[in-house]
Amino acid sequence: MINSLLIANRGEIACRIIRTAREMGIRTVAVYSDADAMALHVREADEAVHIGPSPARESYLVGEKIIAAAKATGAEAIHPGYGFLSENAEFAQAVADAGLVWVGPKPSSITAMGLKDAAKKLMAAAGVPVTPGYMGENQDAAFLAEQAAEIGYPVLIKAVAGGGGKGMRKVDDAADFADMLASCQREAAASFGNDHVLIEKYILTPRHIEVQVFGDTHGNVVHLFERDCSLQRRHQKVIEEAPAPGMDEATRADLCAAAVRAAKAVDYVGAGTIEFIADASEGLRADRIWFMEMNTRLQVEHPVTEEITGVDLVEWQLRVASGEPIPLRQEELAINGWAMEARLYAEDPAKGFLPSIGTLELFQLPEHMGRVDTGVYEGAEVSPFYDPMIAKVIAWGEDREEARELLSEMLEESAIWPVKTNSAFLINALDHPDFVAGTVDTGLIGRDGDAMTEEPVPTAQALTNAAMAMVPRSLQSGFRLNAPDVRSAPFLLDGKRVEVELHGPGADEPAPAMLVAESGSVWQLTPWRAEGSAGGAASDGAILSPMPGKVIAVDVAAGDKVTKGQKLLTLEAMKMEHSLTAPFDGVVAELNATAGAQVQVEALLVKIEKEEA
Ligand code: ADP
Ligand code: ADP
Ligand code: MG
């Protein structure tokens, strides 16, 4: 068994690998870029080596630096995680050439599966059903258009070197083919340095079903059943589960046998995933499931397989890389219960899934309720340099519904701020009737996503609770119990003005601001003040009443010259006095307040105009 391991990755997967290595008594070495100097994987490893600037292409993607770090620290083996260099056959070869153990398949297996067209040809030859289409060398546009017509629309144009859901174009109509082909080729050349494409039949009612396979250096290959990753956004997985809903034993046996044949065809060693696309218009049927591609590495969603089989896939990887046989035989593997994983991203679904960066001032995930694989901690930075996935939340249940409910509850219990996350979106997706029924196809989010991406809002009760913590207890007499005079006051909710009902006693120590955490979302509530909202209200010189109240003093008259900060009038509201002051030097152009008058919230009390020079 290897004694020391360098992890050539970052984030949650680096932490995940370190956890198992430590349990096995293996010394761990992390590598990190400038941006990751304080990252969790650096803290958790026994040792860490700085490998360069923040951009991945100057650090995590530079094979020589990683091999040098392994040499310098005496690490015997390198685990690439997923993404980055994990499917780079040249790097795998360089690791071996440097006398280090590569925790992954042989470079030849990576190469064989590296390009989608070559992989499909190889699989077809091995008797694995492949998605119908054209996967030849001829890249002439007119020829490809003929092929598309022969396959029959809709078709999918795919970059042979593509990955991560990029380099794909669905074409519904022959008239659009030429344009879509050109745009796909442009993206493929820019993203993958290879503009070759293949054309596939676009499978209708598509479900993404994949099989976890595992090989060793003694010629054994087993499968660890299937996962369903059909809940996708733009061809990228959002929620994954195992097993697949609606999979019967006979279909499972056929599919998993095909996956094992596929792995054997490339002499596969280590953890790999065979991805299939299923036409689920009539449920899952063995004759309607086709090979799509193989990922020659550990997959993001491997935890759901671990949860239903009890196998630690990273432990298996390390054992197999050390030359041991696979610890269990096929007949010793069984499915126990159901597992579901949600990918938690630092992004804002309401703003088109824009990545959200910054300090995680609040970062709480309910680790006591299930499994949480994360690469960050409270106080850590989410930087703009890497993938915005900050955690994976994984739930296990006796059956699918139990797992689904637990995952939803776990997400509801999460509290992350001020970085935005997709947790409310994930909860909405888990609650979608098609997801509940287990009939999700990959187009669901595209069709019904708008309802899932609506900006979450806190309930009135949550706002009241937070508001009362900001109102001094000395105002308690204002809130007579059982009195009908429920009061309300304006506050700023994430900078937007809201009216909040106040009832019950306030706090001994009023807070200047409160975080409102509810259903997996967090907002900040602050008291609304005329001065505080100067950016909006006062910039144009309009002084509005911040809350309903009584004017108790007016210190200026119409036409008066005032200087910035000068007191204009005093308002009494909620038994507190509020001074309203001039936002800038100017003249009182309008005065709508007299002492003793009751005013409504947002009533225009004074208007200050800048003096003409
Ligand atoms: P695929 O999309 O090819 O089926 P996965 O679902 O396993 O594969 O996702 C792999 C993706 O994870 C990569 O394409 C990349 O965008 C992302 N990724 C790579 N490295 C990291 C990392 N360290 N942390 C989070 N995400 C990563
Ligand atoms: P990547 O390397 O980017 O992961 P894949 O070939 O695995 O590329 O395809 C990604 C996703 O695109 C699949 O999970 C599926 O949702 C969709 N897809 C791929 N091929 C087809 C197809 N022939 N018909 C319908 N959907 C497809
Ligand atoms: Mg894929």
CATH topology of domain 132-201: Dna Ligase; domain 1 (3.30.1490)
Query: How far apart are the C-alpha atoms of 556 and 233, rounded to whole Å?
Result: 59
Mean of the per-residue pLDDT values of the chain = 93
Give the pocket of ligand 2 (CB within 6 Å).
131, 156, 162-165, 168, 200-203, 206, 208, 232, 235, 275, 277, 292-293, 442
Domain(s) of CATH 3.40.50.20: residues in the chain: 4-103
Q: Which CATH class is domain 343-453?
A: alpha beta
| Ligand 1 touching residue 593 (CB < 6 A) | no
Q: What are phi and psi of 184, to 5 degrees?
A: -65, -40
Q: Atom 3 in ligand 1: which residue has the minimum CA distance?
A: 164
Instruction: Give the atom of ligand 2 at the shortest distance from the alpha carbon of 237.
Output: 14
Asked if residues 170 and 277 have their Cβ atoms less than 8 Å apart, the reply is no
Grade residue 508 by pLDDT with cuts at 50, 70 and 90.
confident
Residue 241 to residue 302: CA distance in whole angstroms: 10
- 4-103: CATH topology is Rossmann fold (3.40.50)
Tens digit of each residue's pLDDT (9 = 90 or more) over 142-161: 999 999 999 999 999 999 99
| Residue 85, ligand 1, Cβ within 6 A | no
Of the bound ligands, which one is closest to the alpha carbon of residue 208? Answer: 2
| CATH match of 122-130+207-336 with 3.30.470.20 | yes
Nearest to 586 by CA among 557, 610, 558: 610
pLDDT, tens digit, 9 for 90 and up, residues 108-128: 999 999 999 999 999 999 999
* pLDDT class of 486 with cuts at 50, 70, 90: low
Mean pLDDT score, 195-207: 97
Residue bearing the bigger pLDDT, 571 or 236: 236
Active site residues: 297
Note the ligand closest to the C-alpha atom of 7.
Answer: 1
CB atoms within 10 A of CB 435: 21
Task: Return residue ranges of the chain for CATH 3.30.470.20.
Answer: 122-130+207-336, 343-453
For the stretch 420-441, pLDDT in tens is: 999 999 999 999 999 999 999 9
CB contact at 8 A, 26 and 103: no
Q: Decide whether any atom of ligand 1 lies within 6 Å of the 271 Cβ.
A: no
Exposure string of 293-309, with b = 16+ CB inside 10 Å and e = fewer, is bbbbbbbbbbbbbbbbb
Ligand 2: which residue has its CA nearest to atom 22? 202
11 Cβ below 6 A of ligand 1? yes
Q: What is the pLDDT of residue 487?
A: 77
**pTM (two decimals):** 0.86
- Residue nearest ligand 1's atom 1 by CA: 164
Please list, in sequence order, all residues whose beta carbon lies within 8 angstroms of the beta carbon of residue 217, skipping any fewer than 6 positions away.
269, 320, 323
Q: Which residues contact 216 (CB under 8 A, 6 or more apart)?
A: 269, 320, 324, 325, 326
Least distant ligand from the CA of 162: 2
pLDDT in tens, 216-228: 999 999 999 999 9
In CATH, the number for domain 538-609 is 2.40.50.100
Strands (E), 260-351: 270-279, 289-295, 338-345, 347-348
Q: Measured from the CA of 273, which atom of ligand 1 is nearest?
A: 4
Closest residue CA from atom 13 of ligand 2? 235
Nearest atom (ligand 2) to Cα of 275? 7
What is the tens place of the pLDDT at every residue in 397-412?
999 999 999 999 999 9
For 310, the token pair is 């009890």
